[in-house]
Structure 1
């Protein structure tokens, strides 16, 4: 049986899955890092849909998630989730990051999507410690998959080697302990 959690180093904007997750900011209007890359590669239709969501519901809160079309991306949809900015660990950051992963998975399930690709949420300009963020991401996904059979495969797409090595170690250690 194919493992339900897969790890890949690469560019999430080139990945062909049902849905990729965007590490968005609350405005949903694009930004730096993976957020900017997804908006640039996907084209204006993603941003247009983000404007519509914002006009209807306001900004996206930290830990929440919304879904849009994927524009020119090879994925079918984009789930935009807002991860927490790291503030030393005393502002509920761990739970908010867990919520970002869990709410993205719930939204994928609600939309009958079975393959989902995550970037390393909050570890760039939001400065969440990479090792801590990886542990939270893996645990949130595993907890969700224990109770769900619709999501067939979750991909962690690591843009940089440092995150890839952290995820490899955590996934390998937990599989063999």
Structure 2
């Protein structure tokens, strides 16, 4: 009987933790994984509503944020993000595919926006470049001494990467990255379809702590 009561209490606590996560991140679904000491959280929702030290934007090389996640980030965070992006390109030139740039986050619930340039599907080196975009985003966050980062499904919008392929590359990169300062990585998917695909792949690659 004691074991049964303990089990009920643990399930109750777990359910409450999940509910708190849903409320905190304003999302429709959540799944938790762990890589060493780092919590990897898969979320279904709007990345512009997520609270993290840095939010990653799926950007183009010229940092012109006219559509998709990029436009949503500027709309929510303010035009300062676009202005700083143009200044970055003016100073340093276009961002290479697989590379990143950094701006402030304006009115978003973050300190920085890390603009990651993913590949267009069909690029012969696309998989390598997509992994680089994810890895360089993590590295930039650690360079900035940040503890948490939120990433979208880079390259799966107009750049055409299949969800399952992008999910596999992201999961492998998150699993094999050598974390130093980051303690929480959020992967935010906008649609239920994307969430289910990423959940299936992440379960295979990272395992799961949820019942």
The TM tier, using the shorter chain, reads over 0.9
Report how far residue 91 of structure 1 moved.
1.5
2:186 paired residue number = 155
Report how far residue 80 of structure 1 moved.
0.1
**Cα distance in structure 2, aligned partners of 1:6 and 1:139:** 15
* The one of 110, 120, 123 aligned to 2:153: 120
Paired residues for 1:95-174 under 5 Å? 95-144=128-177, 147-174=178-205
Mark the runs of 5 or more structure 1 residues left unpaired by the alignment: none
| Structure number, greater radius of gyration | 2
**Cα distance in structure 1, aligned partners of 2:197 and 2:180:** 27
**Cα distance in structure 2, aligned partners of 1:103 and 1:154:** 14
Task: Say if 2:120 is the partner of 1:85.
Answer: yes
SS at the partner of 1:79? strand
Mark the runs of 5 or more structure 2 residues left unpaired by the alignment: 1-32
SS at the partner of 1:13? helix
1:52 paired residue number = 87
Please tell me the root mean square deviation across aligned C-alpha atoms, in Å. 1.3
* The one of 107, 112, 132 aligned to 1:72: 107
The number of equivalent residue pairs is 171
Report how far residue 165 of structure 1 moved.
0.4
Which segments of structure 1 move beyond 3 Å, counting only runs of 4 or more? none
1:14 paired residue number = 49
TM-score w.r.t. the length of structure 1 is 0.93
Report how far residue 45 of structure 1 moved.
1.1
**Cα distance in structure 1, aligned partners of 2:167 and 2:194:** 8
**Cα distance in structure 1, aligned partners of 2:66 and 2:167:** 22
Report how far residue 142 of structure 1 moved.
1.4
